[in-house]
Amino acid sequence: MAPGRIGAVHAKNSPLRIGWPRLRLWAVGLFLIGLAPVVGAFVNDFHDWPAFWSAGATVGTSDLVPADAHVAWQRENGLPTAFWPYPAGTAWLFALPALMPVGASFVVWGAVMLACAVAAGLVGARAFGLGRTVGVLAVLAFAPVTASIVIGQNGPLGLLLALVAITGLVAERTFRPGLAIGALLFKPTWGLPLAGLLLLRGRWASLAIVGVVGLAWYAAGVVAAAGDLSWPSVWLAGVTDYVASDYAANADKSVSLPGLVARLPVPSWVPIAVAVAIVLVAIPRLVRAPIGEAAAGACLVGVAASPHAWGYDAALIVPWLLWAMSDRGLTEPWRTRVIAATYLVGPLWLFSRQTAVSVLAAVVIGLTILWLSGRWRAQQPDSRLAVPDGP
């Protein structure tokens, strides 16, 4: 079946063994359930957003990178205190929102992230030969995506960049994946897995572009840190302390295997060894799989092997879910079973405090094992970009 025809079928019918009207209803319901916690933001200091607002407000000053200076600035301005864990240059993304009051900017940023989520659905549908409506609902119905929107995070932006990179890789472009992956380095744990894929697949020109964008991020960081050329060393020292304290307070939110292992009474090198082992096991499939599938798998493995991944980081497994739903993904009936179970348990991330372990950890690790095992995988080529017909 031609790629265009695949898209036309999916635009009209359900990609799962669930009737389209029912599937659409469930997707809209899951989306609304995912957005419901936003009401709590207005009585809980807007969740994570003040940390990003503070970065935007201090960008270009010596109060951004040093942990003690940044926390002191937040305390003086009556804000919740939090270390800035992103590279210094990323703070420029929040400079404009920081010109508004915290509450108003939270609403604006949420609207921007919602738009990014819709755009990611459209781009993802194109990448994997799905109908546009299917792609958009698949993104909006996934709880980690809406979690980012309601707590002031940025998962939809990262997801959009990852899917733009995937369309470029499948279409055998050079600049598009290089620029998108380079931009994704605004959060290195999201960008590095796809950069690693470029290395494994010998996409040297695209990898060089990633390097150039990475240098631009460093330069942006120098300006953000008030001219401090050594900001990465100060930042990395702060990240080390931050990760330890964050795990102490929020370990139940972890969704990666190294994150779960870090909760055990083991030496500090063990979680690192686990992360390395996951990557090594994944390399053969990342090398052999069709590039679209491999890129989706790299995003999934990146979350599973991350040293620090909370529930909202699981938004980056959506490319794999879109691949799994496509005719090039999982075979039936397992496609429907796996996708339905993944989406239905997603909202339980809200109860990680009560369960002690986030249900999303089981999702991320389970899907990674499933993909690496090669079970229930359709044997179809995936060498060209699928462009769906219709709306």
User: 370-374 contacts: CB < 8 A, separation 24 or more?
Assistant: 370/338, 371/285, 371/297, 371/300, 371/320, 372/281, 372/282, 372/285, 372/301, 374/285
Check residue 243 and give its pLDDT: 85
Does the structure show a pLDDT above 70 at 138? yes
| CA–CA dist 32, 39 (Å, integer) | 12
9 vs 42, higher pLDDT:
42
> At 350, is the pLDDT very low, low, confident or very high (cuts 50, 70, 90)?
confident
Measured CA to CA in angstroms, residue 222 lies from 15, 50, 66, 109 at distances of 47, 23, 13, 25
CA dihedral (199, 259, 90, 115) positive or negative: positive
C-alpha of 47 from chain center: 18
For the segment 266-312, what is each residue's pLDDT rounded down to a tens digit?
998 999 999 999 999 999 999 999 999 999 999 999 999 998 899 99
Q: How many domains, in total, are found in the chain?
A: 1
On whether residue 187 sits in a domain, the answer given is yes
For the segment 57-89, what is each residue's pLDDT rounded down to a tens digit?
999 999 999 999 999 999 999 999 999 999 999
On whether residue 381 sits in a domain, the answer given is no
Check residue 43 and give its pLDDT: 87
Measured CA to CA in angstroms, residue 136 lies from 111, 155, 189 at distances of 15, 15, 25
Q: Determine the average pLDDT of the residues in 337-348.
A: 96
| CA–CA dist 27, 381 (Å, integer) | 29
DSSP states of 281-349: HHHHHHHHS-HHHHHHHHHHHHHHT-SS--GGGGGGGHHHHHHHHSTTSBPTTHHHHHHHHHHHHGGGG
> How many alpha carbons lie under 13 Å from residue 103 in its C-beta half-sphere?
7
> At 13, is the pLDDT very low, low, confident or very high (cuts 50, 70, 90)?
confident
Check residue 380 and give its pLDDT: 54
On whether residue 379 sits in a domain, the answer given is no
On whether residue 384 sits in a domain, the answer given is no
For the segment 153-163, what is each residue's pLDDT rounded down to a tens digit?
999 999 999 99
| CA–CA dist 295, 165 (Å, integer) | 9
For the segment 239-273, what is each residue's pLDDT rounded down to a tens digit?
988 888 888 788 899 999 999 999 899 998 999 99
On whether residue 385 sits in a domain, the answer given is no
Burial of 313 (0-12, 13-18, 19+ CB in 10 A): buried
On whether residue 390 sits in a domain, the answer given is no
DSSP states of 121-178: HHHHHHHHT--HHHHHHHHHTSHHHHHHHHHT--HHHHHHHHHHHHHHHHTT-SHHHH
Does the structure show a pLDDT above 70 at 382? no
On whether residue 356 sits in a domain, the answer given is yes
Q: Determine the average pLDDT of the residues in 199-208.
A: 98
Evaluate whether 302 touches 275 at the Cβ level (below 8 Å). Answer: no
Does the structure show a pLDDT above 80 at 141? yes
Check residue 386 and give its pLDDT: 43
Longest Cα–Cα distance in the chain: 63
SS3 386: strand
- For the beta carbon of residue 344, count every other beta carbon within 10 angstroms: 13
Query: Which structural domain, as residue segments, surrounds residue 303?
Result: 3-373
Check residue 383 and give its pLDDT: 41
On whether residue 123 sits in a domain, the answer given is yes
Structure tokens at 7: 């898209």
Check residue 241 and give its pLDDT: 86
Residue with tokens 């809200």: 350
| CA–CA dist 24, 47 (Å, integer) | 30
| CA–CA dist 11, 375 (Å, integer) | 27
Check residue 1 and give its pLDDT: 38
- Highest mean predicted confidence (pLDDT) among 38-42, 260-264, 335-339, 356-360: 335-339
> At 12, is the pLDDT very low, low, confident or very high (cuts 50, 70, 90)?
low
